[in-house]
Copies of this chain bind each other. A is one copy, B any other.
Amino acid sequence: MTPYAAPVRDFRFVLEELLEHGSLALPGFEEASPELVEAVLEEAAKLAGDVWAPLNASGDRQGCTRGQDGSVSVPDGFIEAYRAYAEGGWNGIGVSEALGGQGLPEVVASAVQEMLHGANMALGLCPMLTAGAIEALAHHGSDEQKATYLPKLVEGTWTGTMNLTEPQAGSDLSKVRTRAVPQEDGSYRLFGQKIYITWGEHEAAENILHLVLARKPGAPEGNKGISLFLVPKYLVIDADGSLGERNYVTCASIEHKLGIHGSPTCTLSFGENEGAIGYLVGEEGRGLNHMFTMMNEARHKVGVQGIGVAERACQQAFAYALDRVQGRRGGSECTISDHLDVRRMLLSMRARTDALRALALYCAAQLDVARHAEDEGDRRAAQAKVDVLIPVVKAFSTDQAVEIASLGVQVHGGMGFIEETGAAQLLRDARIAPIYEGTNGIQALDLAGRKLQRDGGAALAGLIDEVESTARALRATPELAALGEGLAAGAADLTAALASVLEQGSDPERGADAVQAYATPFLTLAGHVLCAWQMGRAALAATAARQAGSGDPFYAAKVQSADFAIRQWLPVGRAQRAVIEAGMASLAGFEPRSS
């Protein structure tokens, strides 16, 4: 597998030239100077490239194993690499200083996440889940719970998990059956089985805190009966974090998966005999709501994860194509990177990855504004954008990541199909991202069925205004005018599709159904247009830099990336308008039958 070199220059371009370090001016980020941010990116790049990335292929080959006693071994080197991460203070970079973190802006934390996932997605999942647990406790835990559990989670000495899925309760969590029986001391005893628990059992941390959706006896059916519980692997006997006995939660099995072999995916049994000791987090009956408050961020992280893998696929494909001599061009032997069809694949991979990154970081910057802006109106406006952007970042980035990784395999020819090369692993790893943290179909429904309907499309319309403004600026720049035309046409398509989806959704008879049929095509269109928008902005910034005299080839490459994104990639997305407008007659009447 090709070494991973974190794309620090690209991060800096987005942070400095596209986002103009907007987040750094927000209250609470006073210490996050441009110099500090740069230093953080450079240090994270070292950790990712030197420590995590070399374990990616070996971790895939070795995978995880579960011992007879239910203990789980992760691949060689993973524990040390995780500890290097935790000891470096990386686990807390995006966590507020009040909770013991560094309180850096989300844009910076997102960039660091992308690097770590690009280096080693299987390992990156461990802290990703911990971040969810930190969020859950920070928002919904009692003061005592925060004091007891957060410090260790933030420093990474303990890790966290999310226990949602059960065999009969996947996308529909209202079917959760795990029982939580109240005890006299105010604690609970949990009984049940959870599946697909990422890093559900391992020895990389001193303790594991499981956040578990469960139901009290007699609780109402459906969503309202579900509460959130904290179940530590080892009971914590002291507020200083001293550990006591092992709790009654065990790893019953681990899954044999297509990818992310280095990440143990566990079936956890709670309380086979005595019941696992757990503690209510937040309000009774509000477990799903509590989970959903942090799901937005988790979804953003999954999108970023996809981008990390896409970036690594790019690097691997570029390195191979620049090295592999095959065929001739202009009369002499050449590397395959000289063949235009291969170049098309490479530029397609690069342009898409650049675009997805810019959009994900734009979204992260809006998250910063939503949390930190002084003005409430600013916060609300940013949050409205975030709500619309998150399902796009999650679903579109991960769908594209799979395609990009698959193109990476293709660039390698026969070598791509051989596991030793590493390209195939990236495809296998990436393939989970459109599935977990809410399938991409669920994301599309969240966008088209919920987010757009509840504000009548206002937030997205606001974003489209910005797209149009970028299109105008491109048109006003002679050498970018064609990009402006393309982007404007994309914005018009998205506007029309938005009107269509809003109209369908308002139909009292079959609104929900109609929207469901259009949701994925709509999200795909939105993803294309928003990504093209970011690349339009990139083209403007890069052209400005060149006109100001910069000879850095980075800028020329960025303009090519933007040209490809808008003129070669956007048209495919724009076709989704025709798909939506053609209507879904075939779908409504279609009754799937087994063959």
Residues of A in contact with B (beta carbons under 8 Å apart): 5, 7, 165, 168, 170-172, 175, 195-196, 255-259, 314-315, 318-319, 321-322, 325-328, 336-337, 339-347, 402, 406, 409-410, 413-414, 416-420, 424, 427-428, 431-432, 434-436, 439-441, 444-445, 482, 486, 513, 516-517, 519-520, 553, 556-557, 560-561, 563-564, 567-568, 571-572, 574-576, 578-579, 582-590, 592-595
Contact = CB atoms under 8 A, between A and B. Distances in A.
A325 B167 CA distance: 11
Given A171-B327, A344-B584, 9 more contacts: A7-B595, A172-B326, A258-B424, A259-B417, A318-B593, A340-B513, A341-B517, A343-B587, A563-B586
B568 A582 contact: yes
A257 B417 contact: yes
B417 A322 contact: no
User: How many subunits of this chain does the assembly comprise?
Assistant: 2
15 contacts: A170-B326, A257-B424, A339-B516, A341-B516, A343-B587, A406-B431, A410-B441, A413-B439, A416-B435, A417-B435, A557-B593, A561-B586, A564-B590, A571-B575, A575-B575
B575 A347 contact: no
A561 B432 CA distance: 28
Contacts of A336: 171
Contacts of A409: 258, 431, 435
A560 B589 CA distance: 8
A572 B528 CA distance: 13
Contacts of A482: 582
Contacts of A5: 595
A551 to B, nearest CB: 15
Contacts of A434: 410
A295 to B, nearest CB: 16
Given A431-B409, A439-B410, A586 B557 contact: no
Complex A-B, nearest 8 residue pairs according to Cβ-Cβ distance, in ascending order: A563-B586, A571-B578, A567-B582, A258-B424, A575-B575, A340-B516, A340-B517, A341-B441
A330 to B, nearest CB: 9
B413 A587 contact: no
Which applies to chain A's interface (DSSP): helix, strand, loop or mixed? helix
A413 B327 contact: no
Contacts of A257: 417-419, 424
A258 B165 contact: no
A427 B431 contact: yes
A553 B594 CA distance: 12
B414 A165 contact: yes
A41 to B, nearest CB: 15
A371 to B, nearest CB: 31
A501 to B, nearest CB: 13
Given A410-B439, A516-B339, A516-B341, A560 B586 contact: yes
Nearest to A10: B595
Contacts of A315: 594-595
A257 B427 CA distance: 13
A46 to B, nearest CB: 15
A564 B587 contact: yes
A427 B564 CA distance: 28
Most buried by B among A341, A482, A520: A341
A424 B347 CA distance: 28
Contacts of A419: 256-258
A406 B402 contact: yes
A587 B435 contact: no
Contact of A255 (B418, B435, B516, B553): B418
A561 B486 CA distance: 32
A434 B469 CA distance: 41
Most buried by B among A564, A583, A587: A587
Nearest to A564: B586
A588 B322 CA distance: 16
Contacts of A567: 579, 582-583, 586
A417 to B, nearest CB: 5
A529 B165 CA distance: 42
A560 B590 contact: yes
Contacts of A168: 325
Contacts of A579: 567-568, 571-572
